Amino acid sequence: MADPLLEQARSSAIAYTSFNGALTASLMDLSAAKSSGNQTDIQKYQVEVNLYKEKATAAKAAAETALAAAQGVPGADGATFSAETQENKDIYSTISSAISRENKYFETNLSQADAALTEVTLPSGEIPTNPSQTDADTAAKYADTTNIVPTLDATNFVAQPNISLSKSVTSQPSRPTAATPTFGGGKDHRVRLKVPMSYLVGQAAGPNNTLVKSQGIIFPYTPTIGQEYTATYNSISATHSNYNQYFYKNSSVSTISLGAKFTVQNDYEAEVYFSILHLLRALTKMRWGDDENAGSPPPVCRLFAYGDAIMNNVPVAVSSVKVDFPENVDYFTSKSLSSAPVLSTITITLTPVYSRNEIQQFTVSDYLNNNIRSKGYL
């Protein structure tokens, strides 16, 4: 067991890292609010930036004080040698490096925070608070909820994360909790990838069967989605003609690119992140060897996004998954001893896949009259 002074230094360093990470996220939220011009959000996030700036400053001082006190632990300075002192030296070196690295991030955050807070005067009075976030709140971020009428952001039809500022300080600050928007009759409009239940097993089931209960992945923050619809025409260059002649060849729907943001600030969110990543990797693989139904291709999933008029029950196959592990963010180490970035993006490419029977049943008349919208035709 490490020396108590080293344990204190380690806890202080974790708190410093957490508050500095929260300050980074708040600055990003403030920047987005300024881009949208929403004054209410600007004031709200300025309050949050000011709060985490103060918390991070205090945590920095506490971490450096604790590190200085830990210098007196035998072996921390490398002057004595034994199995125990070597362990102390390694722990001290790790903590010292972490604090030094965090100081660089904090200097950048501090200058950005000072600049941001001088642009608009913060509202007077007490800092607004919300109830502390619990594991249940975090679970709701990924839950499949229906029949709930939300409060919507006036500037966007997709509800934005609600920031909780009142969570007491231990080793982790409170984090954004994604809203659960519902519209007209209580249907959930969040982006969701429904996955065959046969793939929602083991780690891919998620902690407390989170992914099983939602039948796949519900993206906690509004992702960026891109798609293209194309009509292809072949051309003939006639001799002694000023214009080409065009003949229709076919129409097609491109792959769907989906960029999803994830945040991790506690063990539950870390395990959900690991489960989602594990599941997405599995969805790119065929059944093989001693697998049941060996030789079967990756499964066809169903994509839902923003209601019937946008994407409803679209059959898609996961053709690629790109995971970013940024170098300029903190990493949260869970109880399973794996580390996840506190802020990252997963980019997924989805290929619309229609069976021969589905293609034969398609008619433009039904498409125009919305008679086949629930069948996933794009």
CATH of the domain at 200: 2.30.110
Please answer whether residues 345 and 325 qualify as being in contact, where contact means their C-beta atoms are separated by less than 8 angstroms.
no
| Whether residue 336 sits in one domain with residue 203 | yes
| Whether residue 195 sits in one domain with residue 79 | no
| Whether residue 109 sits in one domain with residue 198 | no
In whole angstroms, give the CA distance from residue 350 to residue 319.
6
Is residue 96 one of the residues assigned to a domain?
A: yes
Three-state SS at 362:
coil
In whole angstroms, give the CA distance from residue 192 to residue 182.
14
| Whether residue 220 sits in one domain with residue 89 | no
Is residue 178 one of the residues assigned to a domain?
A: no
Is residue 165 one of the residues assigned to a domain?
A: no
Which pair of structure tokens corresponds to residue 184?
């007209």
In whole angstroms, give the CA distance from residue 112 to residue 27.
8
Is residue 167 one of the residues assigned to a domain?
A: no
Please answer whether residues 213 and 146 qualify as being in contact, where contact means their C-beta atoms are separated by less than 8 angstroms.
no
Q: Which of 94, 128, 162 is the last residue of a domain?
A: 128
Task: Note the helical H segments in 146-282.
Answer: 210-213, 267-282
Please answer whether residues 43 and 197 qualify as being in contact, where contact means their C-beta atoms are separated by less than 8 angstroms.
no
**Domain, as residue range, for 14:** 4-128
Q: Average the pLDDT over 336-357 and give the result.
A: 90
Is residue 151 one of the residues assigned to a domain?
A: no
Q: Which of 109, 128, 147 is the last residue of a domain?
A: 128
Q: Virtual CA dihedral for 163, 191, 207, 337, nearest 10 degrees?
A: -70
Is residue 173 one of the residues assigned to a domain?
A: no
Please answer whether residues 159 and 263 qualify as being in contact, where contact means their C-beta atoms are separated by less than 8 angstroms.
no
| Whether residue 339 sits in one domain with residue 194 | yes
Three-state SS at 366:
helix
Please answer whether residues 16 and 56 qualify as being in contact, where contact means their C-beta atoms are separated by less than 8 angstroms.
yes
The residue ranking higher by pLDDT, 308 or 261, is 261
Q: Across all residues in the chain, what is the average pLDDT? A: 78
The residue ranking higher by pLDDT, 308 or 188, is 308
Query: Is the pLDDT at 339 greater than 50, yes or no?
Result: yes
Is residue 11 one of the residues assigned to a domain?
A: yes
pLDDT at residue number 316: 93
Closest alpha carbon to 343 in 330, 362, 360: 330
The residue ranking higher by pLDDT, 186 or 344, is 344
| Whether residue 191 sits in one domain with residue 106 | no
Is residue 367 one of the residues assigned to a domain?
A: yes
| Whether residue 330 sits in one domain with residue 205 | yes
Please answer whether residues 219 and 181 qualify as being in contact, where contact means their C-beta atoms are separated by less than 8 angstroms.
no
pLDDT at residue number 141: 55
pLDDT at residue number 5: 81
Taking only the tens place, the pLDDT of each residue in 166-211 is 434 444 445 444 444 444 445 678 899 999 988 999 989 988 888 9
Number of domains composing the chain: 2
In whole angstroms, give the CA distance from residue 61 to residue 72.
18
pLDDT class for 122, splitting at 50, 70, 90? very low
pTM for this structure?
A: 0.52
| Whether residue 112 sits in one domain with residue 43 | yes
DSSP H or E segment with residue 313: strand 311-323
Please answer whether residues 247 and 234 qualify as being in contact, where contact means their C-beta atoms are separated by less than 8 angstroms.
yes
Please answer whether residues 322 and 257 qualify as being in contact, where contact means their C-beta atoms are separated by less than 8 angstroms.
no
Q: Which of 128, 147, 162 is the last residue of a domain?
A: 128
Q: Average the pLDDT over 250-274 and give the result.
A: 91
pLDDT at residue number 129: 42
Which pair of structure tokens corresponds to residue 292?
């049941």
The residue ranking higher by pLDDT, 36 or 348, is 348
In whole angstroms, give the CA distance from residue 260 to residue 221.
7
